[in-house]
Amino acid sequence: MTISPFILFWAAIFTSNILLTNFLGMCSYLSVSREVESSFGLGIAVTFVLILTSALNWLVYYYILVPLNLVYLEYIVFIIVIAATVQLLELLIERFTPALYYTLGIFLPLITVNCAIFGVALFMIIRRYTFLQTLAYSAGSGLGWLLAILMLAGIRTRIREKMVPTGLAGTGITLITTGIMALAFVGFSGIVNVQ
């Protein structure tokens, strides 16, 4: 792996967007994207937690699990690290910055089960990223996710005023919108190839 972290950062946002090409983090993406403001809050929270937990998980994996030969426990250990970090973060934010807690706090519990966080942790192990690459990849993935949910929230506020067939309303039209967005992002593929 000799991809520079900088290229990886851009690739994670555009050519291999975590949501539009890897389908990760769909649950909260579909349910929270009704308002632009709350989407932005959730996006920022996801980005922040993603960077923090990926870094922690990388350290735990290479300095605890590998030396102890406990690699097969990676799923359970990763999810515990993620849950613990989110819980700790919630306590800290509530204690020190109550204002931020009211905007971000409500989203934090949702993040534990966000597949994007867990997915990035698994991708960095499978693709054998170095620590710097992991930081760049997780930051890019978080921002890519933020970008996707912001775009969808913007489009959804417009769709609300339009006539949509009964059966398609709600999830159906949201998925089609996402499909068209994904189609646009296919246009980015080929600029850099990261697997």
- Asked if residue 165 binds other proteins (CB under 8 A), the reply is yes
Q: Please, which residues have CB within 8 angstroms of residue 29's CB and are 6 or more apart in sequence?
A: 19, 145, 148, 149, 152, 178
> Where does residue 123 rank: exposed (0-12), middle (13-18), buried (19+ CB within 10 A)?
buried
Binding mask 121-160 for other proteins (x = CB under 8 A): -xx--x----------------------------------
Helices (H) and strands (E) in the chain, counts: 10, 0
Per-residue tokens: 42: 């959730």
Site for other proteins in 79-108 (CB under 8 A): 79-80, 83
Q: Which of 70, 73, 91, 132 binds other proteins (CB under 8 A)?
A: 73
C-alpha of 136 from chain center: 13
Q: What angle do CA 178, 183, 185 make, to 5 degrees?
A: 95
Residue 175 beta carbon to other proteins: minimum distance, rounded to whole angstroms: 4
Site for other proteins in 31-60 (CB under 8 A): 31
- Binding region for other proteins (CB under 8 A) out of 25-33, 36-44, 45-53, 155-163: 25-33
Per-residue tokens: 163: 């006539």
Site for other proteins, rule CB under 8 A: 20-27, 30-31, 72-76, 79-80, 83, 113-115, 118-119, 122-123, 126, 165-168, 171-173, 175-176, 178-180, 182-183, 186
